[in-house]
C-alpha cells in the first residue's frame, strides 16, 4: 500500500487541499478514511446534485460496465443519442456536442461562435465571471487572478461590468459576435443576474443578432430550482454549456445550440476522444432521467426556501452576515470581520463541508435531495461554527 502522504507529495500543487481524504459518500454525507462522517454542503462543487452515489445512476453505470466502456465517436453510441434527445426535449436547444468538462464545453461554444459568425469574432463576457482554466476559457474569464502569468491570452474577449445597465449601450457600438454569461456568477461570489438587466441585454442581442451563450456549468441540472437557470429568466439562449451535475460525478460536459448555429460544425470541425463515451453518456442519461422524471428539482426548490428562512434567522443572530443571496440551492452569504476561508476551516472541526466564493462569501451547495433533517443539522453545526469564529 502506498501511503496517502507519498501520493500527495507527487501531485502538482494546484489546489489548497483540506486535510481530509474522502473515501466514501452517500446522499448528503461523506466519510473520511478514519470513518468520520461529514455533512456535505458542497456536493463536489455543484456536481453531485442527486447526492452521493445515487441509486439509479449507480445501477445504470454498473450494468454499462459489463457491456462496453469506451467506443470512438466514429461510431454511434446509443446512450449518447438518447441523452442528446432528452436534453433537447427539455431545453430550447436542438443539437448537442459532448465533451468531458465545463471548460471544454465553453471551448466548444467559443469555437462554434467563431465558426458561425464569419464577419465578427469578438465575445463579450463579464467581470467576476468564471468560464474555465484552458487558455480560451481563462481568456474569457473576467478575473485577473485566474489570468495572471498566462499571457499572451487569446484575443477577442471584452469584459463588461455585470448587472450594469448603463454599460449595455457600449454593446451596440461593439457589436460582438456573442455575449457569454452565467445567470448566477458562481465562483465570482454567487451573484444572480438582475431581471431588468437581462431583459435589456437580451433585447440588444436580438436586435443586433448577437449570439447569447449561457454558461450553465454551475447553474444547470436543477441547481437553481429549474433544470436550467435560463428557464427562470424568460429568455431563449442560442447556446448553453453544461458539465458538473450532468453526470452525477462521472466526467461529462455538453454544449447545446440552436440548429441553425450548430450546423456550422461539420465533420472535422471539433471532436473529443472521450466526449460522451458509453460510460459517461450512461451516467448522464440516468442523471437527466432522474432530474426530469422525479420530484428532485422541486425538492431542491422547496428546501432552498427552508434553508434561506433558517439562514435569515442566523443573520439576525450574527450581524457579521451581511447578505444572503442566490437561486435555488446555489446560495451565497457575504460575511464581514473574518475571511470566509476561516469559516470554512472552522466548519471542518464541526464535520461540515462548505465552500467560499471569493474572499468574503460563503457558498452553500447541498444536493437537491437534501432533507429537512439535514438542513436542521446544518443550521446546528453552522451556528456553532459562527459562534466559535465570531466570539
Ligand atoms: C460557470 C462555470 N463555467 C465553467 C467552469 C469550468 O468547469 P470545469 O472545472 O469542469 O472545467 C466552472 C467550474 O467551476 C464554472 O463554475
Residue with CA at minimum distance from ligand 1 atom 9: 102
* CA-to-CA separations, 189 to 154, 158, 346, 355, 363, in angstroms, rounded: 25, 20, 20, 11, 8
Residue 1 pLDDT greater than 50, yes or no: no
Burial class (CB in 10 A: 0-12, 13-18, 19+), 155: exposed
Q: Is the dihedral of CA 94, 100, 102, 104 positive or negative?
A: negative
Q: How far apart are CA 353 and CA 1, in angstroms?
A: 28
Ligand 1 pocket residue status of 182, Cβ below 6 Å: yes
Determine the straight-line distance between the first and last CA of the chain, rounded to whole angstroms: 44
pLDDT score recorded for residue 7: 57
pLDDT score recorded for residue 9: 80
Q: Enter the C-alpha cell of residue 278.
A: 458509453
DSSP string, 312-353: HHHHHH-TTEEEEEEETTEEEEEE-SS-HHHHHHHHHHTTEE
Query: Helix and strand tally (H, E) in the chain?
Result: 14, 17
Class of domain 4-53+295-390: alpha beta
Residue 191: count of CB within 10 angstroms of its CB: 22
Residue 336 pLDDT greater than 80, yes or no: yes
Q: Ligand 1: which of 142, 183, 243 to mutate, judged by most atoms within 8 Å of the beta carbon?
A: 243
Residue 126 pLDDT greater than 90, yes or no: yes
Q: Which residue has the higher pLDDT, 191 or 9?
A: 191
Please give the average per-residue pLDDT across 61-67, as a whole number: 98
Residue 252: count of CB within 10 angstroms of its CB: 31
Atom of ligand 1 nearest to the CA of 103: 11
Please give the average per-residue pLDDT across 306-322, as a whole number: 98
CATH number of 55-293: 3.40.640.10
Instruction: Give me the phi and psi of 31, to 5 degrees please.
Output: -125, 145
Q: Ligand 1: which of 15, 43, 103, 358 to mutate, judged by most atoms within 8 Å of the beta carbon?
A: 103
Q: What is the pLDDT of residues 43-55, one digit of tens each?
A: 999 999 999 999 9
pLDDT score recorded for residue 27: 98
Residue 2 pLDDT greater than 70, yes or no: no
- Residues in the annotated binding site for N(2)-acetyl-L-ornithine: 133, 272
As a whole number, the mean pLDDT across the chain is 97
Measure 318 CA to ligand 1 centroid, in angstroms.
Answer: 32
DSSP annotation of 235 reads: -
Please give the average per-residue pLDDT across 64-73, as a whole number: 98
Q: What is the pLDDT of residues 134-152, one digit of tens each?
A: 999 999 999 999 999 999 9
pLDDT score recorded for residue 312: 98
Please give the average per-residue pLDDT across 115-123, as a whole number: 97
Residue with CA at minimum distance from ligand 1 atom 4: 131
pLDDT score recorded for residue 163: 98
Interacting residues of 81 by C-beta distance below 8 A, sequence separation 6+: none
Cα 179 to chain center, whole Å?
18
Give percent of the chain above pLDDT 70: 98
Instruction: Give me the phi and psi of 181, to 5 degrees please.
Output: -155, 160
Atom of ligand 1 nearest to the CA of 45: 14
Q: What is the pLDDT of residues 216-251, one digit of tens each?
A: 999 999 999 999 999 999 999 999 999 999 999 999
Ligand 1 pocket residue status of 47, Cβ below 6 Å: no
Atom of ligand 1 nearest to the CA of 216: 1
Angle made by CA atoms 95, 98, 100, in degrees to the nearest 5: 155
Ligand 1 pocket residue status of 216, Cβ below 6 Å: no
Instruction: Give me the phi and psi of 137, to 5 degrees please.
Output: -80, -25
pLDDT score recorded for residue 327: 98
Angle made by CA atoms 352, 329, 385, in degrees to the nearest 5: 25
Residue carrying the nine cell digits 457569454: 180
pLDDT score recorded for residue 109: 99
Measure 103 CA to ligand 1 centroid, in angstroms.
Answer: 6
Please give the average per-residue pLDDT across 196-218, as a whole number: 98
Measure 133 CA to ligand 1 centroid, in angstroms.
Answer: 8
Ligand 1 pocket residue status of 101, Cβ below 6 Å: yes
Interacting residues of 272 by C-beta distance below 8 A, sequence separation 6+: 73, 98, 99, 100, 104
Extents of the domains making up the chain: 4-53+295-390, 55-293
Residue 5 pLDDT greater than 60, yes or no: no
Crossing angle (nearest 10°) for helices 340-349 and 372-390: 120
Ligand 1 pocket residue status of 215, Cβ below 6 Å: yes
CA atoms within 13 A on the CB side of 287: 34
Ligand 1 pocket residue status of 238, Cβ below 6 Å: no
- Residues in the annotated binding site: 102-103, 130, 133, 215-218, 272-273
Ligand 1 pocket residue status of 187, Cβ below 6 Å: yes
Measure 105 CA to ligand 1 centroid, in angstroms.
Answer: 9
pLDDT score recorded for residue 384: 98
Q: What is the pLDDT of residues 249-303, one digit of tens each?
A: 999 999 999 999 999 999 999 999 999 999 999 999 999 999 999 999 999 999 9
Amino acid at each position: 500500500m502506498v501511503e496517502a502522504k507519498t501520493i500527495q507529495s507527487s501531485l502538482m500543487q494546484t489546489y489548497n487541499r483540506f486535510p481530509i481524504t474522502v473515501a466514501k459518500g452517500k446522499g448528503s454525507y461523506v466519510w473520511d478514511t478514519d470513518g468520520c462522517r461529514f455533512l456535505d454542503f458542497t456536493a463536489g462543487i455543484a456536481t453531485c446534485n442527486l447526492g452521493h452515489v445515487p441509486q439509479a445512476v449507480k445501477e445504470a453505470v454498473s450494468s454499462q460496465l459489463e457491456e462496453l466502456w469506451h467506443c470512438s465517436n466514429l461510431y454511434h453510441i446509443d446512450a449518447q443519442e438518447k441523452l442528446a434527445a432528452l436534453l433537447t426535449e427539455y431545453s430550447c436547444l436542438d443539437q448537442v456536442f459532448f465533451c468531458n468538462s465545463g471548460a471544454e464545453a465553453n471551448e466548444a461554444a467559443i469555437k462554434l461562435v467563431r465558426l458561425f459568425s464569419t464577419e465578427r469574432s469578438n465575445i463579450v463576457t463579464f467581470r467576476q465571471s468564471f468560464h474555465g482554466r484552458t487558455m480560451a476559457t481563462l481568456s474569457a474569464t473576467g478575473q485577473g487572478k485566474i489570468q495572471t502569468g498566462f499571457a499572451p491570452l487569446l484575443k477577442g474577449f471584452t469584459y463588461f461590468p455585470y448587472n450594469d445597465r448603463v454599460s449595455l449601450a457600449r454593446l451596440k457600438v461593439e457589436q460582438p459576435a456573442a455575449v457569454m454569461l452565467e445567470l448566477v456568477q458562481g465562483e465570482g461570489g454567487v451573484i444572480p443576474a438582475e431581471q431588468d438587466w437581462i431583459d435589456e441585454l437580451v433585447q440588444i442581442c436580438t436586435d443586433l443578432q448577437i449570439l447569447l451563450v449561457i454558461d450553465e456549468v454551475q447553474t444547470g441540472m436543477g441547481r437553481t430550482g429549474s433544470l436550467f437557470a435560463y428557464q427562470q429568466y424568460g429568455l431563449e439562449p442560442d447556446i448553453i454549456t453544461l458539465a458538473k451535475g450532468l453526470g452525477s460525478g462521472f466526467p461529462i460536459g455538453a454544449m447545446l445550440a440552436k440548429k441553425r448555429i450548430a450546423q456550422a460544425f461539420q465533420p472535422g470541425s471539433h471532436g473529443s476522444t472521450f466526449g460522451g463515451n458509453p460510460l459517461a453518456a450512461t451516467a448522464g442519461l440516468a442523471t437527466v432521467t432522474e432530474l426530469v422524471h422525479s420530484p428532485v428539482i422541486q425538492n431542491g426548490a422547496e428546501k432552498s426556501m427552508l434553508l434561506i428562512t433558517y439562514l435569515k434567522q442566523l443573520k439576525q443572530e450574527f450581524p457579521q452576515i451581511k447578505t444572503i443571496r442566490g437561486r435555488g440551492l446555489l446560495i451565497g452569504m457575504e460575511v464581514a470581520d473574518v475571511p470566509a476561508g476561516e469559516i470554512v476551516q472552522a466548519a471542518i472541526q464541526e464535520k461540515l463541508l462548505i465552500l467560499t466564493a471569493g474572499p468574503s462569501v460563503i457558498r452553500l451547495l447541498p444536493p437537491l435531495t437534501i432533507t429537512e433533517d439535514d438542513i436542521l443539522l446544518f443550521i446546528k453545526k453552522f451556528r456553532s461554527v459562527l459562534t466559535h469564529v465570531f466570539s
